[in-house]
Structures are given as C-alpha cells and as structure tokens.
C-alpha cells in the first residue's frame, strides 16, 4: 500500500479490499423492510438521525428517520476549502474585522441548511449552534511553537530570503499569539457552547440568519421545513434567555424582510448536571430539551470519553462498571438526571418536546430507558436508525407485556 491509494472496507463482513469498489446507496428491502414496518406499528418513540450534510440526511430518510435530531453546525466548517476562512474569522480581533469572513461562512451555511431542509422535506431539523472552542479550528499550539523556533533558527543561519522569512515569521507569530490567547487547560469545560455564542454574538447572528434565510428559501419553493434551533451547553437559565432573545429578534427581522414566516422552535441541549437540576427554570423559555448524553456522562462521572480507554477494561473486568457508560446509558446516575430534568421541565411546560441526541440514541437498552421516560424521540447515526426503530418497538411491547404481539417475535 502507498499513500493516496484506495481501499474499500466492508464493515458487515470485515473485508478489506484493495482498490475502489463501486458503492450503492443503502436501502431497506425485502424481509428487512417488512420487519421495520412491523416495528413501526408498535413503537411510540420517533426515530431521528444525527446528520450534518445532505448526503447523510438522504441515507437517514432511506433508513426511516423522521427528522434530524442533531445537526452539528460546526462540522460544516471542516471542509478544506472553508478552513482558511474560518481561521481568518477567528484571528480577527473585532466584529468589524470578522465581517468579510462571516459573510462567506454564512453563504456556505445557508446553502448547507437548504440542502438539509430539502432532503428532510417537512421533517423537523434540529440545528445545534457552534459548540466547540475556537482553538479547535486553528493549528495546534505545540506545532506552531516548533515552526516558529525552526523559522528563527533558519533566519539565523540562512542569509538569503530574509524578507520572505520575516513576513512568514510575523504571520506565524500572530497565529501563535491568538492560539495562546484561546488556549485552555480544560477546553471541554471552557469557552464553548452558549458561552461562545454570548461573547461572540456576531458569530451566532451569522448562523441564525443562515438558518432562517435557508428556511425561507426552501419554504418559498413549496417545501415545508421546521427548523429547531438548539443552544448548546446551557447550565444557567439566563444564558438560554439571552441567547433565545437574540434568535427571536433575528427571526422577526428576516420574516419582515422576506414578508413570510417560518414555524420554528428554540430549545437546548441538556448536557450538564446543573441544567438537569434547574430544568424547570430553563423550560420556562425552552420549547424542547435534547439530552446530549455524551457530555452529560462525562460531566456526571468526571470521566473523559477520550481517555477512559486507559482503565475501562480494568473497571469492566473487576465489575466496578457493569458496562461502558458511553455505550449504554448509566441509569443509576446519568439516568436519574434525565428523569429529573423531564419531570422538572414538564412541570413548567406540559408540551415540552423531549429527545436524546448522544450516542446512546442508537443503543437498544438506552432506547428502552428513553421510552420509559416518555421521550418524544431518539436520535442516532443514520446507519443505526433501523436498530433504534426495532428497539423502540421492543420497548413498547415489553411495557405491554407482549399482549399485542401479533407479528413474529420481534
């Protein structure tokens, strides 16, 4: 094998094939499709998909998804063509300096959102506003330090191209200064999510404008769309209130400009213990909760999902943990926070829509737990949608004691 050569992986059979094999879209046919129809007769939970681009949305619909439960808007930024413009936006120091980059990014986002709305064709689309810290879009601090040191050494010993080297050094040092300024010791608990949106309101404004402009464009073509704007990492009710106020103001401005209105919801991702504990306060303004159980598991256990592999095997072997809590929802701890948040939220807003968008949304045991808490939907990877549909049906039948089981054993 050489760099740049293609291989094809058959994940079902475990085959690795040299070369590029022609692929076809996944589809449910025959007995598989019939089984899914049976499952849909019994399940009460809706099943949505986590999808960030139109292609994934199309696959999700083919597998029976009834909407998008999580569109991670920042994933649209990682296209190689877009990264330099994202970095330009981050390196800018003032809102005025950010304007040119934000305009280009908004055009991309609007186009992306239009694609999702068209693929969903009337199904709801939950879009999470920018979540990760800004430094994730910039070169790593350690790499920049090495590059600056190497460049200084080269200038010391090479007497040619000094002007070019000085220009390059100045640019590298400017990036390094900004990266050092944004560097955080614990970025998962740092300047991200709604904290980022509140301190950089022009970035949030750009994203929300893109969402509503896309929705208006699609609706103008006769395609119904239902954007659900999700504010991430809320832990304080006032964070949500201020973010929602900005969203509503932008919506009214765009609706007035376009002389049309689009139905939309504003909600939050419950991914911090404090959000669950104060869910009644947040629900006073939030129209839906979507549980981000990846981060909620991290912040409840104090486990890092990226590092738990160093001792997880030992914990499972010694029965300290019965299962990997990032695969199957921990009902005794994290699950109790979900239960509390649902009860508190619905005590204030009876029609509060409840969903889950963490990886647990495709795990059968976790789906059963969500059914027991009367969630409206679960959301998972497009390719896990059939599993979630079947698990939701099994949960409903189990609750009824199998009395209505009129098909073959699901």
> Picking from 48-57, 207-216, 398-407, which range would have the lowest pLDDT averaged per residue?
398-407
Position 405 scores a pLDDT of 55
Position 75 scores a pLDDT of 87
Claim to verify: residue 228 and residue 172 sit in the same structural domain:
no
Claim to verify: residue 234 and residue 169 sit in the same structural domain:
no
Confidence bin at 407 (pLDDT 50/70/90): low
* Domain around 275: 26-133+192-399
Position 320 scores a pLDDT of 97
Percentage of the chain exceeding pLDDT 90 = 74
Give yes or no for residue 8 having a pLDDT over 90.
yes
Claim to verify: residue 57 and residue 160 sit in the same structural domain:
no
Give the mean pLDDT of 291-296: 96
Asked if residue 395 belongs to a domain, the reply is yes
Position 350 scores a pLDDT of 96
Claim to verify: residue 201 and residue 213 sit in the same structural domain:
yes
Confidence bin at 148 (pLDDT 50/70/90): confident
Q: How far apart are CA 263 and CA 256, in angstroms?
A: 14
Q: pLDDT tens for residues 149-184?
A: 887 887 777 767 777 777 777 878 888 888 888 888
Claim to verify: residue 169 and residue 304 sit in the same structural domain:
no
Claim to verify: residue 218 and residue 116 sit in the same structural domain:
yes
Asked if residue 13 belongs to a domain, the reply is no
> Picking from 160-169, 229-238, 263-272, 297-306, which range would have the lowest pLDDT averaged per residue?
160-169
Residue pair 287/309 in contact by the 8 Å Cβ criterion: no
Claim to verify: residue 160 and residue 38 sit in the same structural domain:
no
Asked if residue 8 belongs to a domain, the reply is no
Confidence bin at 138 (pLDDT 50/70/90): confident
CATH value at residue 39: 3.20.20.60
Burial (Cβ within 10 Å: 0-12, 13-18, ≥19) of residue 61: buried
Q: pLDDT tens for residues 242-291?
A: 999 999 999 999 999 999 999 999 999 999 999 999 999 999 999 999 99
Claim to verify: residue 142 and residue 34 sit in the same structural domain:
no
Claim to verify: residue 153 and residue 279 sit in the same structural domain:
no
Residue pair 62/70 in contact by the 8 Å Cβ criterion: no
Position 406 scores a pLDDT of 53
Q: How far apart are CA 323 and CA 135, in angstroms?
A: 33
Give yes or no for residue 61 having a pLDDT over 70.
yes
Give yes or no for residue 188 having a pLDDT over 70.
yes
Position 408 scores a pLDDT of 52
Position 29 scores a pLDDT of 83
Give yes or no for residue 102 having a pLDDT over 80.
yes
Percentage of the chain exceeding pLDDT 70 = 97
Asked if residue 84 belongs to a domain, the reply is yes
Tell me the pLDDT of the chain averaged across its residues.
92
Claim to verify: residue 168 and residue 206 sit in the same structural domain:
no
Which residue did the predictor score with more confidence, 273 or 135?
Answer: 273
Position 404 scores a pLDDT of 55
Asked if residue 363 belongs to a domain, the reply is yes
Asked if residue 404 belongs to a domain, the reply is no
> Picking from 166-175, 304-313, 356-365, which range would have the lowest pLDDT averaged per residue?
166-175
Which residue did the predictor score with more confidence, 99 or 180?
Answer: 99
Position 409 scores a pLDDT of 58
Number of domains in the chain: 2
Given 164, 183, 202, which residue is the final one in a domain?
Answer: 183
Claim to verify: residue 221 and residue 309 sit in the same structural domain:
yes
Asked if residue 328 belongs to a domain, the reply is yes
Give the mean pLDDT of 302-320: 95
Claim to verify: residue 144 and residue 116 sit in the same structural domain:
no
Give yes or no for residue 187 having a pLDDT over 90.
no
């Amino acid at each position: 094998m050489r760099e740049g050569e293609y291989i094809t992986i058959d994940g079902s059979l475990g085959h690795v094939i040299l070369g590029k094999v022609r692929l076809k879209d996944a589809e449910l046919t025959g007995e598989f499709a019939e089984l899914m129809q049976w499952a849909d007769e019994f399940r009460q939970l809706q099943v949505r998909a986590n999808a960030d681009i139109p292609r994934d949305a199309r696959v999700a619909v083919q597998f029976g998804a009834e909407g998008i439960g999580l569109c991670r808007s920042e994933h649209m930024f990682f296209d190689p063509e877009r990264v330099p413009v994202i970095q330009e936006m981050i390196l800018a120091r003032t809102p005025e300096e950010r304007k040119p980059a934000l305009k280009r990014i908004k055009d991309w986002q609007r186009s992306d959102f239009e694609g999702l709305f068209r693929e969903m064709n009337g199904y709801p689309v939950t879009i999470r506003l920018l979540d990760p810290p800004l430094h994730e879009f910039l070169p790593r601090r350690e790499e920049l330090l090495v590059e600056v040191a190497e460049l200084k050494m080269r200038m010391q010993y090479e007497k040619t191209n000094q002007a070019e080297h000085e220009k390059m050094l100045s640019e590298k040092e400017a990036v390094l200064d900004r990266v050092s300024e944004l560097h955080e010791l614990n970025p998962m608990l740092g300047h991200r999510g709604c904290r980022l949106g509140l301190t950089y309101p022009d970035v949030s404004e750009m994203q929300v404008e893109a969402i509503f402009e896309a929705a208006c464009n699609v609706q103008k073509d006769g395609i119904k769309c239902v954007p659900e704007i999700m504010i991430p990492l809320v832990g304080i009710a006032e964070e949500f209130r201020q973010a929602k106020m900005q969203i509503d103001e932008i919506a009214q401005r765009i609706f007035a400009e376009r002389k049309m209105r689009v139905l939309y919801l504003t909600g939050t991702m419950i991914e911090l213990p404090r959000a669950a504990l104060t869910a009644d306060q947040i629900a006073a303004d939030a129209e839906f909760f979507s549980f981000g159980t990846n981060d909620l598991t991290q912040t409840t256990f104090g486990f890092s999902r990226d590092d738990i592999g160093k001792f997880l095997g030992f914990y499972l072997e010694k029965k300290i943990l019965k299962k990997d809590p990032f695969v199957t929802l921990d009902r005794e701890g994290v699950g109790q926070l979900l239960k509390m948040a649902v009860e508190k939220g619905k005590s204030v807003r009876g029609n509060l829509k409840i969903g889950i968008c963490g990886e647990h949304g495709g795990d059968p045991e976790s789906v059963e737990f969500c059914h027991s808490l009367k969630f409206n939907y679960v959301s998972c990877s497009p390719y896990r949608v059939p599993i979630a549909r079947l698990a939701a049906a099994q949960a409903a039948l189990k609750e009824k004691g199998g009395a209505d089981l009129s098909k073959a054993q699901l």
